[in-house]
């Protein structure tokens, strides 16, 4: 398990984001199912780049959006807003 705290993807976060780590023989995979973050790479540093990029999309597309969204998308946006310190 990897625990992300403090600054992540250019945003300060409350508490922590946990990433479960798995290895499929060739790749390390990182996952946080509640936020829909999933990334794989041949090395840990390669795999760590992708969750940050995906988290940034979550902030921009879900937490900061004023566009109409499905219930599931609104719930995800709420989770992300609760994590990000403005």
* pLDDT tens by residue, 24-39: 888 999 999 999 899 9
Please measure the distance between the N-terminal and C-terminal CA atoms of the chain and give it in whole angstroms.
27
- pTM more than 0.85: no
Q: Of 65, 54, 49, 12, give the one whose Cα is nearest residue 32.
A: 54
Across the chain, what does the average pLDDT equal? Answer: 88
How many domains are contained in the chain?
1
- The pLDDT tens digits for 50-72 are 888 888 888 888 777 778 888 88
The predicted structure's pLDDT at residue 19: 94
Percent of the chain exceeding pLDDT 70 equals 100
Query: In which domain, by residue range, is 35 found?
Result: 2-85
3-state SS class at 34: coil
pLDDT at 60: 84
CA 74 – CA 44 distance, rounded (Å): 31
């Amino acid at each position: 398990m990897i625990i992300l705290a403090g600054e992540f993807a250019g945003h300060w976060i409350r508490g922590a984001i946990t990433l479960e780590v798995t290895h499929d023989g060739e790749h390390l995979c990182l996952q946080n199912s509640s936020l829909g973050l999933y990334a794989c790479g041949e090395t840990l540093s390669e795999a760590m780049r992708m969750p940050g990029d995906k988290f940034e999309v979550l902030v921009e597309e879900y937490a900061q959006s004023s566009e109409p969204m499905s219930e599931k998308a609104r719930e995800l946006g709420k989770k992300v807003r609760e994590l990000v310190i403005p």
